Every structure is written in structure tokens, then in C-alpha cells.
Amino acid sequence: MLPSEKLAIAAHLHVLLRRKTGRVTDTEWMAENHAYATEIVRFARKSAAEDGHPDLAEWADKLEQAVLPPSVPRPPPPRAREAGGAPTDPGPESVPAPADLPRYVRGIR
Amino acid sequence: MHRIRTEWLLACFLSLAAPAWAQAPAPLTHPALVAQDALNAADTAWMMTSTALVLLMTLPGIALFYGGMVRKKNVLNTMASVVAVAALVSLLWFAVGYSLAFSPGSGWLGGDTRLWFSGMEYLKVAGKVAVSHAAPNVPESVYAMFQLTFAIITAALIVGAVVERMRFSALLWFTGLWSVLVYAPIAHWVWEPGGWLAQMGVLDFAGGSVVHINAGVSGLVCAHVLGARRGYGREPFEPFNLGLTMAGAGLLWVGWFGFNAGSAVAADGRAGLAMAVTHIAAAAAAMSWMLGEWIVRRRPSLLGLCSGLVAGLVAITPAAGFVTPKDALLIGVVAGLACYWGATGLKRLLNTDDSLDVFGVHGIGGIVGALMTGLLANRTISGVHGDVAIQALGVLAVIAYSALMSLALLWLTKVLVGLRVDDDAELTGLDLTQHRERMGT
């Protein structure tokens, strides 16, 4: 995967986290540093499970696949998912609607 | 008795009238040396103040306004571009630009009498000072500096369309050539009394066409020729700090009082009215953009407010010395909505990565303002009538010349140094790759 594609996923997750949880992250560092990316994936999944934001879990999965090589230990899934928490599982119907896409994708205004 | 009285009255009349005729100065048709006491001190002080205000719009106004909107890795490059353009255009204006724009020549271009500011004398012992025929009450040095700040901001506006991917060297080559070969001729057409658009009666009080349409169209052409930034339309390009953008917008609003009220070239009632309409239009456009965004996007954004106020300032620019405060309210409301569409709907239609919406705000705002000036110009204020057809002709002339010349200059720049940074440099960011600097945390 190209570095720009990794950066794009990290930026997408950054926007979602800021909007849904108020947490501010470092996009570039997220796309480069495995330890930081691991922590962000863990936090995003936890927020997804606890606060009901399926799109956070979906983009955490994407970041994990894009940035973390298989050799890197994966963050443990949150308890809600371990317990078979179907409500937070991102299904096809939970893909964000176009109006909910992050800002700044096709222009700044 | 009657004849004696008539002769006496005639003699009195002549004795009073003759000296007055002898003293009344003929209107200047070219720059000239005049007695220092012919200057107006209040006008001169206001023009010097306005010059500082307009420079403040660029340094640091535009630098902050644009710098806050780009990604963190390109903030310093954006600011460096604005500073470098300001310095480069200043030198070129001194050497060539002012003479081509504001000395008498043909209807298309000024002459060479003011190259290197030559003839711009101040002779203390002789009690003489040079004045421009376009501003006979203030020293020509002040008028030239006031106009210099307009040349600077016009070129600096283009930076917003090309940020995050244009080579720094290419930007300097392009804006340098553009300032001399595009800005100066258009300024001559519209603002020098012998310019062909001025002769036709095109009204542009402070630069709706010369500055904003010109920069907007050129920015759009530049963005199209350069191509989109990597990831455009797929990745979110998060602005570094919209707080900086707000600070820049505030400086633009304040500085615009010098831009518009200074264009009266006097500290008089017309300048006062220009200041009032400028403020009203900015406020109206900020509100109309905000309401439009609130309805369409369900959220009013800070960037929308800042963009709206700039849209209103742009649109009132050509009209400032010609319209009433109520007309300014209308211009502001229309401009806010039109520019919101320009920066969103029209942008999608054009499918060009005009990064910071130079055309959407300045191009569209300038066109709205120029046409509404034709519609609303009030004869009781300025002594002139507006004509929408004449205004439209002026708009089309500026669009055509600016677009074609920008294309030619981009081609030349590409041949000389290349236009874009390479993919790796773009990914890393222009702060590091063009300047070896980066923002702190």
C-alpha cells in the first residue's frame, strides 16, 4: 500500500475520532509508527463498543490492515465485541452515509 | 450715470475675476511638478495610512488567512510564498510596473516615464513635489506606494489556488511575470484616465476587476494547469489551524477600509461613505454565507463566516464609491450566497483543485460586485451612471486577458523551471522539501 493511502486512512480516522470522541491525534505519526497506531486502533475500537460508533471500528480495522504488519501484536478487541456484542459490529448497513463523510475531502469549504 | 455704473461694476468684476482665472489650475493630464503647498495634508495623511492598512492585508493578513487553511506540512511554504511575492512585486513595481500602469501612454499600456520611479521628485529648496495626474492632491510617491500595495495583494491572492504543490521557484517566476504583463496593463486599462476601459466608462472604484476578477481567473487557470493535489477528492485535507485563518480574515476586514476608503484618494465624504458601505457589505455577506451553510450543511462554520465576510468585501470593492449603504446591504447578501455556491457547487462543476477557492470567492465576488455596480451606481454620490452592459464588457475583457496571459506565462514558467514538485516532495510537504523548515508542535 502506498504511503499516501495509509495517510488517507489515518486522516479519516483522525477526523472521526475528533468528531465523535473529542480526541485529537497525530495523523502523520499514526501512519508511520506501529506503537502509536496500535494504541489508536485500541482506543477507536473501545470507543466504538462503548459509545456506539460503528464507523470508528470499521476505520480502526482499515488502519490495522494498512499500517500494522502481521508481525506486530494486534490490540485486543474490546469486551463488548468479545461478548458477541453484535450491536457494535460494523455491518454493511453501518457504512456512513455520504452526508456523513468527513469534511475537507473535496475542498475546504 | 447708468453707463458709469455699468463700467464700474465691470471693472470690479474683472479685478476680482481675473486673478481667480489666473490661479485656477488646469486639470493635469500627466504627472507634474507642483508647488508643495498645492498638496492637501489631510488627503496625504489618509493615503499614507491607507497604504499601511492595505499592506497589512497581505502581511500578515493573507499569509495567516491562507496559512491556516493548508495542511501542517505546507504552512510555512504558504507563508513564505506570500512574503516572497510581496517583496518581488514591490521591486518590479518600482522598476517597471508603476510606469506601465499609471503613466500616460496608449489606451492599452502606460509609458516609460516613471521607470524606476524616475521623475518622482521632492525638491525642498525649490518648493516643488511631483504629483500624479490621477491624484493631484498627494505626493506621487504616496500614490505610487498606495498602488504598490494593490499590486502586491493581487499577486498574493493567486497563491491560494496553487498551494501545496507548486514549486517555490515556479511561483516566483510566474507571479513576477504576471505582475508586469497582466496586472499592470489591466490596472492601466481601468484606472489610468486614458485606459481604454476607463474611457468607455467602466466603473471599478477599488479593484473588483483589476484585483479580484483578475486574481480569481488567473488562480483558476493556474490550478487547472498544475493539476490537483495528490489525494484530492479521496483524502481529507485538514486545515492546520482555522484560528490563524480567522486572524487573517480580521486583518483583511480592517485593512479593507484602507483599500476602499483609500481609493477615494482623499479624506472626504466619499471616503467616509466608502468605509461605511464596506463594513455593511462585509457583515451582510458573512451572515448570508453563514445562513446558506447552516441550511445546506446544518452547521454554521467559522471558515464559512470568514469566507463570507471576505466575499462581501470583494463584492463591494468595485462599488464602494458609487453606492448607498442600503445598496451595500444588497450587494453583501447576494455576494455571500453567490460565493458560497462558487466555493462549493461551482467548484464541483469546474472539477479543478482551486485549493483555497480563489476563484470561488474572489472571482465570483468580483463579478457579482462589478455587475451590481452597473445596476446600483448612484449618480448623486459620484456624478456617474452605472451601465450593466459596459460593466459586463469590462468583466469579459479582464477574464479573457487574464486567462490567456496566465496560460502563456505558465507555459513559459514550465519551460524555465517546471511547475510542480515531485510526488515524494508533495507527500513529505513543501515546508521541508522547499525550505528545509517545519512547524513546531
Find the CATH number of the domain harbouring B239: 1.10.3430.10
* Residue B32, domain member (yes or no): no
Q: Which residues of A touch B303 (CB under 8 A)?
A: 108-109
* Residue B104, domain member (yes or no): yes
Number of domains in chain B: 1
pTM comes to 0.80
Are residues A109 and B231, on separate chains, in Cβ contact within 8 Å? no
| Confidence at B358, pLDDT banded by 50, 70, 90 | very high
- Which of A77, A73, A72 lies closest to A60 in space, CA to CA? A77
Grid coordinates given for B440: 513546531
Pick from A28-42, B7-21, B94-108, B359-373: least confident = B7-21
Tell me what pLDDT residue B37 has.
Answer: 95
* Residue B4, domain member (yes or no): no
Range of B413's domain? Answer: 40-435
Tell me what pLDDT residue B378 has.
Answer: 93
Write the pLDDT tens digit of every residue in B309-348. 999 999 999 999 999 999 999 999 999 999 999 999 999 9
What ipTM, to 2 d.p.? 0.76
Are residues A105 and B238, on separate chains, in Cβ contact within 8 Å? no
Strand order in the sheet with B122-123: B32-35, B128-131, B122-123
Which parts of chain A register pLDDT below 70? Answer: 72, 75-102
Q: Is the pLDDT of residue B3 over 70?
A: no
For residue A14, the distance in angstroms to the closest alpha carbon of chain B comes to 10
Pick from A86-90, B93-97, B285-289, B362-366: least confident = A86-90
* Residue B29, domain member (yes or no): no
Q: By the CB < 8 Å criterion, does A108 face chain B? A: yes
Percent of residues, chain B, with pLDDT higher than 70:
94
Write the pLDDT tens digit of every residue in B237-249. 999 999 999 999 9
Q: Which residues of B touch A13 (CB under 8 A)?
A: none
* Residue B17, domain member (yes or no): no
| Confidence at B79, pLDDT banded by 50, 70, 90 | very high
Are residues B344 and A108, on separate chains, in Cβ contact within 8 Å? no
Which of A4, A105, A108 lies at the smallest CB-CB distance from B356? A108
> What does the mean pLDDT of chain B come to?
94
Q: Which residues of A touch B239 (CB under 8 A)?
A: 104, 108
Q: By the CB < 8 Å criterion, does A29 face chain B? A: no
Which of B238, B307, B427 lies at the smallest CB-CB distance from A104? B238
Are residues A12 and B236, on separate chains, in Cβ contact within 8 Å? yes
Are residues B238 and A109, on separate chains, in Cβ contact within 8 Å? no
Q: Give the Cα separation of B23 and B393 in Å (integer).
A: 40
Pick from B29-33, B145-149, B397-401: least confident = B29-33
